[in-house]
Structure formats: structure tokens, C-alpha cells
Amino acid sequence: MGRRGRAIVAVFDAAVMIAAAFQITGGGFGRPLLNIVLWGSAVAASLVAVVVMTGVSAYIAWAAIGYVLHAALLASAEPNLVLLALAVALMPVVPRPRGSLAFGIVCATLAAFAFSEVLRRL
């Protein structure tokens, strides 16, 4: 799949996440943790789409995927399968740092734990 096809997929994934965040929160910001998780994931997915469209640093995209992984697996007691599916769906479309999918997954995992630690301290 070419860069244009990957960009279309990334934009679609971001749009779905934005729609899901709006639907679940009702467009409001009444529950702070839920808003950080959902709207943060929507912003992260949008950032991935921007990286795919512009070709800037792959590390930015993998850090954004790390945020979505954090939201899916570490932000609450139960895993959020929708967010986990979003993270997995974004992985094939982003540029691979150093040409390695495994290295990208390691970057995303490290970012997920870093986001978890930062948000725990807030």
C-alpha cells in the first residue's frame, strides 16, 4: 500500500476515534479520566494521521500509538478493546523506525509506560 493509501486508512481511523469519543462522552467533559483516555486517543490517532500524510518522524507516530496503548491497557482496571484495536489498526500504516516493526512496537510500549507514569503523577 502506498503512502496515500496509508494516509486514507490513518485518517479514517482518526475519524472513527473522534466519533467514538464524541459518542461515549456525549461531547462533554464531565468525567476527567474518561475524557483524558478517549479524547487523548482521538488526538493521538489524529497525530498519527498527520505523521503518515507528511512523512515526519516515525517516532512521533509510535509515541502516539503508545498513548493509545496506554489508554487501552493501563489507564483503567479493565482493558478497552476498542482502543486496543485502534492501536493495532494504526501500526501497519505508520512508518517504521529504523525499518523495523519490532522496534516500532518497542517504542510504543515504552511510550505507553511513560504516559502511564506521567498521568499517574497528575
Region for residue 98 given its phi and psi (left: phi exceeds 0; alpha: psi -120 to 50; beta: otherwise): left
State the pTM of this model: 0.89
For residue range 21-77, list pLDDT tens digits in order.
Answer: 888 888 777 777 778 888 999 999 999 999 999 989 899 999 999 999 999 998 888
* Cell numbers for 93: 500504516
- Angle 10-15-18 (CA atoms, 0-180°, nearest 5)? 125
Determine the Cα–Cα distance for residues 19 and 25; give it in Å rounded to an integer: 10
121 — pLDDT class (breaks 50, 70, 90): confident
> For the chain, what are the domain ranges?
3-121
